[in-house]
Amino acid sequence: MESKQEREYACQSTQGGIKVKNIVIIFGGASSEYEVSLQSAYAVVNNIDREKYKPVTVGISREGRWFYFTGDVGRIKEDTWCNATDCVPAMISPDRTEHQLILFHSEGIKTIPIDAVFPVLHGRNGEDGTVQGIAELAGIALVGCGTLASALCMDKDRAHRLAGLAGVRVPRAMVLADNSAVNKAYDFAREIGFPVFVKPVKAGSSYGVTKVEVMEQLASAVSLAFQYDDRVIVEETIEGFEVGCAVCGRDQLIVGEVDEIELDQTGFFDYTEKYTLKTAAIHVPARIAADKAQEIKEAAKRIYKALDCSGFARVDLFLTPEGEVVFNEVNTIPGFTEHSRYPGMMKAAGYSFKEILDRIIGQAFF
């Protein structure tokens, strides 16, 4: 049965003479970062400007099934959204003339018109260009980075190569194509010295990442990383601390204040620290000189453009004790709760959560 929400979407109502655009907000996903996506999507839905945009919530289950979700937004945050009462199987039509969300009701097919797609997904099968490709194939406006940028930024090896060509120092690294090549990792580690970091080439939120202190730990670290991807990167450790820069826009970029991650001397910013700050602290603005902060911002903008980013992204770098800026990675869909790093950096630059969300969505139509 067609719901009241579906009838409202189909009518594409106007408020004050302004057409209210239907924004498909996609959350969840067949990804190890499924839970993080739920928190980000909850914040986005709660803060979207309802006078301009009507959120059309589409959840992807852990198994990869797509559903149009009609329930209370709190169920997204609680991870109780995926149920028979609130969900209808759905898909985005790939037909470039349609711009529709197709709903597979038991009594027949219904549709909802779409103005833009906003993937609020983290990690593989969502942040890596796969979902972005669906929107681009369908000719629907896309909020955030496109297919190419999303794929490049998820690939640590290729992202580092392009950042290096843009004139930003990158860590020395090597890539393993299969687990049997671990002897090459031994040779590389001997050459550059310990500790080294072992990471899946394509994964987010530090899943499968190990800081290896001694040779005896290397083989198990490589095996762990291969559980998350079919290629593994071994990187030198960069002395110093991590800094981040929130970037927004296409041609004309705005940047937030640089933030700084303070860790204890033995740890690194792994999944637990990112989402609990058990021993870590985030300082925004970073406790660095103004000219160094400006240098970091300029490096972040160069990287953002070199990787073809648009919409928004968070560029993560290291600052060495000697004051050198070194590239780490780009998150094309960073955590987006009201307390996440990206909104925090933008808030420090004078942009509220609602303002930056409105800017991110609005630029998809230009």
- Find the CATH number of the domain harbouring 209: 3.30.1490.20
Give the pLDDT score at 32: 86
The Cα–Cα gap between 210 and 198 comes to 5
In a domain? residue 340: yes
In a shared domain, residues 232 and 243: no
**In whole angstroms, how large is the CA radius of gyration of the chain?**
21
In a shared domain, residues 69 and 210: no
In a shared domain, residues 276 and 346: yes
In what helix (H) or strand (E) does residue 37 lie, and over which residues does it extend?
Answer: helix 34-47
In a domain? residue 292: yes
Q: Considering 185, 218, 236, which residue would you say is the last residue of a domain?
A: 236
The Cα–Cα gap between 201 and 130 comes to 16
Quick check: helix, strand or coil at residue 274? helix
Structure tokens at 315: 């560029």
DSSP secondary structure string, 61-101? -TT--EEEE-S-THHHHHT---STTTEEEEEE---TTT-EE
* pTM of the predicted model as reported, rounded to 2 decimal places: 0.90
| DSSP E strand stretches across the chain | 14-15, 18-19, 21-28, 53-60, 66-69, 87-92, 100-105, 108-113, 116-119, 141-142, 173-176, 196-200, 210-212, 232-236, 241-249, 253-255, 259-262, 281-283, 311-319, 325-331
In a shared domain, residues 123 and 159: no
The Cα–Cα gap between 280 and 259 comes to 13
DSSP structure class, residue 167: T
In a shared domain, residues 259 and 218: no
Give the pLDDT score at 12: 54
Q: Total domain count for the chain?
A: 3
In a shared domain, residues 215 and 187: yes
Q: Which domain holds residue 224?
A: 173-236
In a domain? residue 264: yes
- Find the CATH number of the domain harbouring 254: 3.30.470.20
Give the pLDDT score at 13: 56
- Find the CATH number of the domain harbouring 33: 3.40.50.20
> What count of Cα atoms within 13 Å lies in the side-chain half-sphere of residue 179?
11
In a domain? residue 117: yes
In a shared domain, residues 23 and 165: no
In a shared domain, residues 293 and 350: yes
In a domain? residue 221: yes
In a shared domain, residues 124 and 30: yes
Give the pLDDT score at 5: 58
DSSP secondary structure string, 308-328? T--EEEEEEEEE-TT--EEEE
In a shared domain, residues 216 and 245: no
In a shared domain, residues 160 and 302: yes
In a domain? residue 148: no
Low-confidence ranges of the chain (pLDDT < 50): 11, 273
In what helix (H) or strand (E) does residue 153 lie, and over which residues does it extend?
Answer: helix 147-154
In a shared domain, residues 221 and 326: no
